[in-house]
């Protein structure tokens, strides 16, 4: 008999009556590190040997096992029990094994739970196989067991999206046997009661691997997979992992369990050793690192944001407001006149009404949290105000002067400027320490990135609050310094300048767009300009035919909105087709500049679009505008559609080799000239020393 035996540093065995409890305590998320696997194996084995009549596997802390320990992948790990040995010990145990789940049972964690004979969970628990988001598939039998429990359609959806499902959905789908309310204590009690009942009732020791009905129902059914592939094709373009997940479920339907397991193992290894998963695993940690600002102490007091003010209800202001009301924070939106206010609030309402995730009642609840006004005086009781008026320094400065007068002491004053100098905005106020940039991306209610811009005088508390509020509204936040265009747009300008230059040299808009689309961006720069509108910031009276864009505007081409831009758009389908008139306009423009047109290869297009971005990224690090190379990747993946399976521009550059990139930058610099081709000293020195951009900390 035993009360509590520590098996490894992170796993212990307890006993309550006939029931043994194997308890994992590996903060922060109980990942399946080597000592957890060894402890689980020892725990199950010892429990059986000790004569216990049932075993409960449960975790301390905030969650059940959240998956394999990603930081162990590819590293040197002490020898310990493998996950499959743990699973076999559970599945083949001669006494009932019950998994008791709270928090999140994810990836390898859910795969462990699937080897218990029964699962009990808290109502608040969530379940998922999110490996696809790491460029992987569940490699511990999850691809074979999940469809056996929840059916093929649901397994396909869960495994290709990585979506977490609730306890209710899990119970309805057959994944969980019992759901209880309350906290960890209630869960423990319920799992022990379940175990005692299983013993008393002599419940069968159900092995999920033996439950074949749901997968056999789709043996030879190619149609379900063909249709599913078609449905997700657009969303998963370029990614390997979703397809490999599907193949595993096909194997589950068409092969015996052990053969399916072999197929899973082979495909898992292929993904694990490939570049996509390496990029996605790197990116997982990059996103979390971005939250950490080294010089801001963890215990920095935060401003308590109970009410937010937003100035401007245009494209950005309305979307920004939605972020806050979605998490229950009331917002006051101020516009310059009633008509603009009505228009802006009308767009917000329509966005909610169109969204499938908001019920009509929720639309009303959220709209009720927004107060519209035409007086900035209504910001007086706001804890934070975000300015989102036109991109004009004088206007922004005059507004910040007013906000300084109106807002209460200590209120956070943010600007959503996309490129202007936050210090110049701050300096017109008597409290520059309260001012910061919060650069949201369009559409602000959808795009994940929040590029916060720290002014020279922004206080620690303002910096910390900005990051915390970003997390609260579900954004991926970064903190960067002041420079024109900050991190994202500054690098984008380089790409745009070079893309336009290549048009003059003979590349076609469709060619440039296709090269970047095939690289994995959702669209190329010219399609993007057409979508945004070519006439943003363009004024007829000031237009002097100095860029191709100006020439197109002068010729009445405004982009998608009037069906003509770099492309011509079908009025009904919006399909884009290249236009001979545009090609001629570009040709004439090039002749006017004395540039001879030639064939530009796709490889040159790729290099000239992306290498200046890498070079600029290195300059950004040199200037300490970004804290880490990985923060730049977070900005580009979340704000500009850089394909996550290529990790971001810094990770990608490392994977190409910095020596090769530095040599090419030098070569283009000599051939083409232009400040953006001046080789960054940091890039040069990292190339020479064999260093990396992705791990560089400034």
Residues assigned a catalytic role: 111, 131
Contacts with 674 (C-beta within 8 Å, 6 or more apart), sequence order: 497, 501
Contacting residue, 36, 159, 313, 665, with ligand NAI by CB under 6 A = 313
Q: Which does 66 bind (CB under 5 to 8 A by kind): ligand 3HC, ligand NAI, none?
A: ligand 3HC
343-362 residues in contact with ligand NAI (CB under 6 A) are 344
Distance CA 126, CA 562 (A): 47
Distance CA 22, CA 45 (A): 10
Which C-beta is closer to ligand 3HC: that of 261 or that of 492?
Answer: 261
Q: Which does 643 bind (CB under 5 to 8 A by kind): ligand 3HC, ligand NAI, none?
A: none
Contacting residue, 316, 426, 516, 564, with ligand NAI by CB under 6 A = 316
Q: Which does 388 bind (CB under 5 to 8 A by kind): ligand NAI, ligand 3HC, none?
A: ligand NAI
Q: Which does 31 bind (CB under 5 to 8 A by kind): ligand 3HC, ligand NAI, none?
A: ligand 3HC
Minimum separation from the CB atom of position 541 to ligand NAI (A): 19
- Reading phi first (left if > 0) and then psi (alpha if -120 to 50, else beta), residue 597 is in beta
Residue nearest to ligand NAI (CB): 314
Handedness of CA 397, 398, 401, 402 (dihedral sign): negative
99-158 residues in contact with ligand NAI (CB under 6 A) are none
Distance CA 412, CA 433 (A): 9
**Cβ–Cβ under 8 Å, residues 180 and 151:** no
Beta strand 384-387 with 476-480: parallel, antiparallel or unpaired? unpaired
Which C-beta is closer to ligand 3HC: that of 283 or that of 642?
Answer: 283
Minimum separation from the CB atom of position 242 to ligand 3HC (A): 15
Q: With H, G, I as helix, E, B as strand and everything else as coil, classify residue 384.
A: strand
8 phi and psi, to 5 degrees? -135, 180
Q: With H, G, I as helix, E, B as strand and everything else as coil, classify residue 555.
A: coil
Distance CA 558, CA 328 (A): 39
Contacting residue, 66, 388, 413, 469, with ligand NAI by CB under 6 A = 388
- With helix as H, strand as E and coil as C, how does 59-74 read? ECCCCCCCCECHHHCC
DSSP state of 430: S
Contacting residue, 38, 245, 416, 511, with ligand NAI by CB under 6 A = 416
Q: Which does 14 bind (CB under 5 to 8 A by kind): ligand NAI, ligand 3HC, none?
A: none
Minimum separation from the CB atom of position 486 to ligand NAI (A): 10
Which C-beta is closer to ligand 3HC: that of 137 or that of 605?
Answer: 137
Which C-beta is closer to ligand NAI: that of 198 or that of 403?
Answer: 403
Own/partner long-range contacts of 430-436 (Cβ < 8 Å, ≥24 apart): 430/404, 431/404, 432/456, 432/457, 432/458, 433/457, 433/458, 433/459, 433/462, 434/410, 434/458, 434/459, 434/462, 435/400, 435/462, 436/412, 436/462, 436/463, 436/466
Interacting residue ranges for ligand 3HC, rule: CB under 6 A: 28-29, 31, 66-71, 104, 106-108, 111, 130-131, 134, 136, 138-140, 142, 285, 288
Q: Stretches 330-338, 498-506, 518-526, 564-572: which one binds ligand NAI (CB under 6 A)?
A: 330-338
Which C-beta is closer to ligand 3HC: that of 144 or that of 458?
Answer: 144
Contacting residue, 166, 340, 397, 685, with ligand NAI by CB under 6 A = 340
**Cβ–Cβ under 8 Å, residues 135 and 279:** yes
Residue 470 binds ligand NAI (CB under 6 A): no
Q: Which does 543 bind (CB under 5 to 8 A by kind): ligand NAI, ligand 3HC, none?
A: none
292-311 residues in contact with ligand NAI (CB under 6 A) are 311
Residue 442 binds ligand NAI (CB under 6 A): yes
Q: Which does 694 bind (CB under 5 to 8 A by kind): ligand 3HC, ligand NAI, none?
A: none
Q: With H, G, I as helix, E, B as strand and everything else as coil, classify residue 486.
A: coil
Q: Which does 418 bind (CB under 5 to 8 A by kind): ligand NAI, ligand 3HC, none?
A: ligand NAI
Beta strand 126-128 with 118-122: parallel, antiparallel or unpaired? unpaired
Q: Which does 313 bind (CB under 5 to 8 A by kind): ligand 3HC, ligand NAI, none?
A: ligand NAI
**Cβ–Cβ under 8 Å, residues 64 and 113:** yes
**Cβ–Cβ under 8 Å, residues 103 and 63:** yes
End-to-end CA distance of the chain: 56
Minimum separation from the CB atom of position 397 to ligand NAI (A): 12
Pick the closest to residue 507 from 601, 422, 590, 579 (CA basis).
601
Residue 545 binds ligand NAI (CB under 6 A): no
Minimum separation from the CB atom of position 291 to ligand 3HC (A): 7
Minimum separation from the CB atom of position 372 to ligand NAI (A): 11
Q: Which does 138 bind (CB under 5 to 8 A by kind): ligand 3HC, ligand NAI, none?
A: ligand 3HC
Minimum separation from the CB atom of position 650 to ligand 3HC (A): 19
- What mask of x and - would describe binding to ligand NAI in positions 1 to 30, judged by CB under 6 A? ------------------------------
Distance CA 83, CA 70 (A): 14
Q: Stretches 132-140, 383-391, 501-509, 687-695: which one binds ligand NAI (CB under 6 A)?
A: 383-391
Distance CA 268, CA 679 (A): 40
Which C-beta is closer to ligand NAI: that of 173 or that of 314?
Answer: 314
Residue 401 binds ligand NAI (CB under 6 A): no
Q: What b/e string do you get for 412-431 counting C-beta neighbours within 10 Å, with b at 16 or more?
A: bbbbbbbbbbbbebbebbeb
Distance CA 581, CA 567 (A): 10
Which C-beta is closer to ligand 3HC: that of 75 or that of 537?
Answer: 75
Inter-axis angle of helices 649-656 and 658-672, nearest 10: 100
The two structure tokens encoding residue 532: 């945004």
Residue 315 binds ligand NAI (CB under 6 A): yes
Q: Which helix (H) or strand (E) holds 530?
A: helix 525-532
Which C-beta is closer to ligand NAI: that of 256 or that of 443?
Answer: 443
Beta strand 308-311 with 4-8: parallel, antiparallel or unpaired? unpaired
Interface residue list for ligand NAI (CB under 6 A): 311-317, 334-336, 340, 344, 388-391, 399, 416-418, 439-442
């Amino acid at each position: 008999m035993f009360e509590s035996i520590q098996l490894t540093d992170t796993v212990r065995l307890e006993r309550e009556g006939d029931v043994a409890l194997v308890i994992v305590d590996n903060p922060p998320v109980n990942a399946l590190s080597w000592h957890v696997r060894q402890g689980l194996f020892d725990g199950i084995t010892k429990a059986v040997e000790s004569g216990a009549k049932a075993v409960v596997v449960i975790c301390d802390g905030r969650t059940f096992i959240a998956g394999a320990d990603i930081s162990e992948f590819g590293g040197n790990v002490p020898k310990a029990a493998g996950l499959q040995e743990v699973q076999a010990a559970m599945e083949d145990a001669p006494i009932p094994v019950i998994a008791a789940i709270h928090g999140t049972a994810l990836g390898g964690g859910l795969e462990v739970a699937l080897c218990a004979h029964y699962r009990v969970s808290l109502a608040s628990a969530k379940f998922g196989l999110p490996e696809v988001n790491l460029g992987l598939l569940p490699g511990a039998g999850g691809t074979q067991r999940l469809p056996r429990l929840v059916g093929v359609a649901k397994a396909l959806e869960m495994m290709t999206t990585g979506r977490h499902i609730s306890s209710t959905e899990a119970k309805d789908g057959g994944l969980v046997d019992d759901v209880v309310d309350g906290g960890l204590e209630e869960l423990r009690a319920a799992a022990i009661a379940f175990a005692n009942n299983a013993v008393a009732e002599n419940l069968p020791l159900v092995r999920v691997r033996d439950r074949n009905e749901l997968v056999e129902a789709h043996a030879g059914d190619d149609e379900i997979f063909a249709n599913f592939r078609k449905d997700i094709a657009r969303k998963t373009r370029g990614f390997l992992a979703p397809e490999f997940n599907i193949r595993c479920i096909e194997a589950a339907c068409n092969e015996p369990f052990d053969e399916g397991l072999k197929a899973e193992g082979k495909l898992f290894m292929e993904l694990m050793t490939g570049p996509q998963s390496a990029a996605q695993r790197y990116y997982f940690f990059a996103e979390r690192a971005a939250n950490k600002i080294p010089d801001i102490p963890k215990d920095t007091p935060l401003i308590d944001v109970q009410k937010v003010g937003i100035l401007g209800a245009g494209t950005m202001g309305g979307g920004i407001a939605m972020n806050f009301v979605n998490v229950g924070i009331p917002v006051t939106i101020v516009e310059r006149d009633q008509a603009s206010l009505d228009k802006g609030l009308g767009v917000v309402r329509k966005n909610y009404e169109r969204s499938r995730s908001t019920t009509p009642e929720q639309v009303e609840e959220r709209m009720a949290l927004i107060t519209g006004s035409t007086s900035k005086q209504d910001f007086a009781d706001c804890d934070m105000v975000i300015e989102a008026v036109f991109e004009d320094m004088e206007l922004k400065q005059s507004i910040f002067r007013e906000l300084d007068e109106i807002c209460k002491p200590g209120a956070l004053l943010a600007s959503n400027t996309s490129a202007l100098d936050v210090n110049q905005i701050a300096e017109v106020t008597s409290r520059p320490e309260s001012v910061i940039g919060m650069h949201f991306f369009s559409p602000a209610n959808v795009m994940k990135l929040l590029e916060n811009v720290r002014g020279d005088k922004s206080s620690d508390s303002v910096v910390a609050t900005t990051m915390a509020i970003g997390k609260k509204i579900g954004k991926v936040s970064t903190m960067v310094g002041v420079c024109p265009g900050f991190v994202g747009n500054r690098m984008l300008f380089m790409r745009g300048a070079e893309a336009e230059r290549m048009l003059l040299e003979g590349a076609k808009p469709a060619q440039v767009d296709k090269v970047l689309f095939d690289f994995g961006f959702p669209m190329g720069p010219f399609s993007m300009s057409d979508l945004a509108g070519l006439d943003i910031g363009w004024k007829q009276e000031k237009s002097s035919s100095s860029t191709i864009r100006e020439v197109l505007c002068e010729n009445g081409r405004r982009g998608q909105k009037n069906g003509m831009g770099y492309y011509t758009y079908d009025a009904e389908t919006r399909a884009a087709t290249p236009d001979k008139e545009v090609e001629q306009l570009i040709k004439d423009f090039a002749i006017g500049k004395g540039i001879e047109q030639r064939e530009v290869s796709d490889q040159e297009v790729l290099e000239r679009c992306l290498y200046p971005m890498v070079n600029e990224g290195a300059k950004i690090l040199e200037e300490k505008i970004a804290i880490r190379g990985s923060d730049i990747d977070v900005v580009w993946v979340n704000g500009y559609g850089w394909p996550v399976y290529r990790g971001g521009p810094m990770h990608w550059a490392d994977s190409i080799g910095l020596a090769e990139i530095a040599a090419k930058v030098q070569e283009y610099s000599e051939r083409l000239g232009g400040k953006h081709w001046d080789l960054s000293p940091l890039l040069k020195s990292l190339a020479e020393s064999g260093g990396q951009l992705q791990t560089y900390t400034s």
